[in-house]
Structures are given as C-alpha cells and as structure tokens.
C-alpha cells in the first residue's frame, strides 16, 4: 500500500472532490478528479456518453483513467467516480497501488445533497428512480464494495475542514510506516 497515492471512494455527492481538493492543499499532493478527466477524454458530459455508448463504455473509460492514476508518479489525491468499485480489478488496483479512503455518508444526506445540487449532465440517473430511492438502492448495493476496498473509512458528514485535517494526519502517520 502506497500512502503517497490516495484514492477517495464513495457514492456520488459523498464529498470526494471537495475533500480531495482540501486534502491536496494540506498535503501538497496533486489533486485529480477522475470524473473531470472522463469528461475531457470523452469530449462530452458523462450523461451524453452513457446515452450514446452505454454504461459499459463509461465503465471502461473509468477503469482506463484509474490505471493511469494508479501508475502516476508523485503524491496524488484522486477523487474517483462512485461506481469505480463495481469492477473487481479496480478495487484490487486501488488497494495495491494506494491508500483507499471511503467517505461514508447516509443515504438521506446523499439524497439531500443531490436534490440541492442537481447536475444531470455530470450525474446521470443510474436507475430512473427518484433521487431518494435511487440513492438508497445504489448505496445498499455498493456499500459492501466500498468497505471491502477501503483502508480507511471516514465520516463524510463531518465538517470538511476537520475531516481534511484528520485525514492528512492519518495519511502522514501511514506514510511513516
């Protein structure tokens, strides 16, 4: 496990990008948002890619981006896509090539965040259900994968500043091992 490369995992709206930016600022690491890279590589919003080519095409792109991030030199904080854990190879790659942090957030909080900040182009519906129903269903399916993959689980409902400080300290201690 390499603490110089940190993969933030969790469902959409768990705070991966926000926490990643703060953590990178505190540690001096580079920050990469895998969803932004996916949009750049696809040349369109994720929803458009999924509509045009299907979820398998997006998942393949997501895995390619993860492979690139996992082999990138130097200190790195990567906010991954919420579904990156669906592929067993991705889970293995993150655990072997970095420190994996699961940002745990309740289904209700996730639904509240998603409905307050709807980004349909960036966050296409996975199920066609209402945001509250979709979040509960998707979280129930993926949470075991997030927990299985994570080296560290943090409370994503804590204030971001406190969470970034705590995580920076924990990662600093892990890199000393």
Q: Is 142 assigned to a binding site? A: yes
* DSSP annotation string for 44-93: S-HHHHHHHH-HHHHHHHHHHHHHHHHT--S-EEEE--TTGGGSHHHHHH
Q: Is 59 assigned to a binding site? A: yes
Q: Is 92 assigned to a binding site? A: no
Which architecture, in CATH terms, is 5-175? 3-Layer(aba) Sandwich (3.40)
Q: Is 10 assigned to a binding site? A: no
Task: Say what the pLDDT of residue 1 is.
Answer: 39
Q: Is 71 assigned to a binding site? A: no
In tens, the pLDDT along 102-148 reads: 999 999 899 888 877 655 544 556 667 777 788 889 999 999 999 99
Q: Is 82 assigned to a binding site? A: yes
Task: Say what the pLDDT of residue 86 is.
Answer: 96
Secondary structure percentages of the chain, helix, strand, coil, to 5: 60, 15, 30
pTM of the model: 0.89
In tens, the pLDDT along 42-89 reads: 999 988 999 999 999 999 999 999 999 999 988 999 999 999 999 999
- Whether residue 18 is predicted with pLDDT greater than 50 in this model: the reply is yes
Q: Count CA atoms closer than 13 A to 161's CA, side-chain side.
A: 0
Task: Say what the pLDDT of residue 175 is.
Answer: 57
| Domain spans in the chain, listed from the N-terminal domain onward | 5-175
Q: Is 18 assigned to a binding site? A: yes
Task: Say what the pLDDT of residue 58 is.
Answer: 94
Task: Say what the pLDDT of residue 66 is.
Answer: 97
Instruction: Give the CA angle between residues 57, 73, 162 to the nearest 5°.
Output: 85
| Greatest C-alpha distance within the chain | 46
């Amino acid at each position: 496990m390499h603490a110089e490369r940190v993969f933030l995992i969790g469902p959409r709206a768990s705070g991966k990008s926000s926490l990643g930016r703060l953590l990178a600022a505190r540690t001096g690491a580079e920050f990469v948002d895998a969803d932004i890279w996916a949009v750049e590589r696809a040349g369109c919003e994720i929803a458009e890619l999924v509509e045009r080519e299907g979820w398998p095409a997006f998942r393949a792109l997501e895995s390619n981006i993860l492979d690139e991030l996992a082999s990138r030199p130097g200190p790195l904080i990567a906010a991954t896509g919420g579904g990156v854990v669906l592929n067993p190879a991705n889970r293995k790659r993150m655990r072997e090539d970095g420190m994996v942090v699961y940002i745990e957030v309740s289904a209700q909080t996730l639904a509240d965040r998603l409905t307050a900040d709807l980004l349909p182009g960036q966050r296409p519906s996975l199920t066609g259900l209402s945001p509250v129903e979709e979040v509960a269903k998707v979280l129930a399916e993926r949470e075991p994968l997030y927990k299985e993959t994570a080296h560290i689980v943090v409370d994503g409902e804590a204030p971001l500043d406190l969470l970034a400080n705590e995580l920076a300290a924990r990662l600093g201690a892990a890199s000393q091992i």
